[in-house]
Amino acid sequence: MIVDGKAIAQKIKSALKEEISRSKRKIRLAVLKVGDDPVTAKYLEVKKKFAEAIGVDVRIYEVPVDISNNKLRERLSEIVHIEENDGVIVQLPMPAGINMQYILDAITLEKDPDMLSSKSWGKFSTGKSKIFPPVVGAIKTIFDENKTELKGKNAVVVGAGRLVGKPVAAWLIGEGTTVSVIDENTKNPEDYTKKADIIISGVGKPRLIKADMVRDGVVAIDCGTSESSGTVSGDIDLDVSKKASTFAPVPGGVGPITIAMLFRNLIELSK
């Protein structure tokens, strides 16, 4: 079964719109945008459209690309302390030379819907957070929709990045799943993927996982995005869908749900 992320996101969008309408509260998401990179602008536009559809105000704060790390953190801290801002995110990717974690740690727990600050990570990784990192929330939503059993299953997480690999692996372990995390240093990665009940990849290398590297009936969730000449590709080759019991492709799988989960987190934090 191929996951229709847009349809799932639409259901979440409708529910959030109704919740905001009932509460009659003004909710605002503040976005810090560094420079004017077209990729960054593209991602931001998608979020703005979602926000508009559910009745959330988005306030964009732009800073020049040559800003120093200290000045950037200072500016972000100012934005966080504006009372009307219910949640604050930094639009990624950030330019080279920026100490990303140092900047993100200026966001307080109560205003961190992306859950990228060290304090948010600590709370999530110890099982004390009421919300999930958006990509984890998206994957959990897919598994809940398809009644995917996690306890006792073997999962392979491809990539150990802060945005996908680390939070997904931590969550799966908490769900009673046996997890292997593989990366570019792993010899013979197919030895792991062929035994996996679940594969989740988020490294941004097009068609890295081929059909001959997975077993029949695998649950394959693609969270990796790479773009070349206007074409978007995922980490997992589309031929894997012929062998998978559940397949979330790129584009159209996890991505739309991840944005929906960001706004679900925002609304939860605003309470």
Contact 34, 98 (CB under 8 A): yes
Give the C-alpha separation, 168 to 258, whole Å.
13
The response to whether 260 counts as a known ligand-binding position is no
155, 196 contact by CB (below 8 A): yes
Q: Are strands 226-228 and 231-233 parallel, antiparallel or unpaired?
A: antiparallel
Residue type, 133: P
Positions in the chain whose pLDDT score sits under 70? 228-229
Please tell me the distance from the alpha carbon of residue 271 to that of residue 266, in angstroms, as a whole number. 9
State yes or no: 234 annotated in a binding site.
no
- CATH number assigned to the domain covering 134-255: 3.40.50.720
- Give the single-character DSSP code of 238: G
The answer, yes or no, to whether the previous bond of 251 is cis (omega within 30 of 0) is yes
- pLDDT 10s digits, 153-173: 999 999 999 999 999 999 999
23-109 and 134-255 share one fold: yes
CA distance 130 to 142: 19
Class of domain 23-109: alpha beta
The answer on whether 160 is annotated among ligand-binding residues is: yes
161 among annotated binding-site residues: yes
Spatial separation of the C-alpha atoms in residues 127 and 132, rounded to whole Å: 10
Domain definitions of the chain by residue range: 23-109, 134-255
Against a cut of 0.75, is the pTM above it?
Answer: yes
**Residue-wise pLDDT tens digits, 223-271:** 998 886 678 899 999 999 999 999 999 999 999 999 999 999 999 999 8
